[in-house]
Amino acid sequence: MTVLRPEGAETPEPPPEERKSRWNTADLRRRVLIGAIVVWAVAITVLVAVRGGGDDGTPAATAPSAVPSASDAPLTVAQIYQTLTPSVVVIETTGHDSRDRAEAGSGTGVIANADGTVLTALHVVDGAETIELTYADGTKAAAKLRSEDPSRDIAMLTPEKLPETLVPAVLGGGAAVGDDVVAIGNPLGLVFSTTSGVVSGLNRKLNGDDGGQGIEGLIQFDAAVNPGNSGGPLINDRGQVIGIVIALANPSGAGTFIGIGFAVPIGAALGGTGEGDGQSPPL
């Protein structure tokens, strides 16, 4: 029989045994829930401790990203100078002119090989009776012409003596218009001078003194060079010799720098061939 209770009527309390059973069940559920929360909290704490997570969520064990090595980064002019100066030499020559009058000249060279071979401009040593090198450490040595390439105004010298510490230059590297470059040389007797600028043009051509074919494929640059720089290195911002300085352009013919210098690319200087009678005016 279904018993209908009037609205608002109180529900009679269950017997004590039933109330006790309900309390035991609720207490058990509460204890299980609290235990589960504790276990979950401990698990999260252990996980964070093991991973070492910080506020930014980055695990402590993550390896740092790679960074470029110092040798790959561009060098300052001061760093280039310090690196390349031990590879640069002062060249001094003596001889006689067509009237048998004594004459002397000077220029620059760069150590291009571990055997001490010096690369320079041919017109620096052309016709010289004596050639003397002065290394950065002050060591002096006589040298002889080893090979020459008149078509590129390039010569190689073999020294009779090497410095206590021989430092060949790093040769190579291309050139692009706008690239930073440094020149090291001995302009006007001011030994081991450095200047800086940029590559101004590529594949330039200089006519020979007699209007001949001249030299093609030259690097044009605006780092200041003057007589005495000839034969010296043109260097990029990685410390690589990218060319050998051979000439400057000056409409007045005075042989002083006005912002246009020329260098034979290092690849051509080391093995290029061609025809021509040199350039004008030489440094």
Please name the amino acid found at residue 108.
T
Residue 281 preceded by cis peptide, ω within 30: yes
- Name the DSSP letter for residue 139: -
> Which residues fall within 8 angstroms of residue 21, CB to CB, at 6 or more apart?
none
Residue 188 phi, psi dihedral angles, 5° rounding: 55, 35
Q: Is 70 helix (H, G, I), strand (E, B) or coil?
A: helix
- CA dihedral over 30, 31, 36, 41, signed as positive or negative: positive
How far is 160 from 28, CA to CA, in rounded Å? Answer: 101
How far is 195 from 81, CA to CA, in rounded Å? Answer: 9
How far is 119 from 158, CA to CA, in rounded Å? Answer: 9
CA distances from 274 to 174, 215, 217, 264 (A): 20, 8, 11, 12
Count CA atoms within 13 Å of residue 70 on its CB side. Answer: 2
Active-site residues, by number, are 123, 153, 230
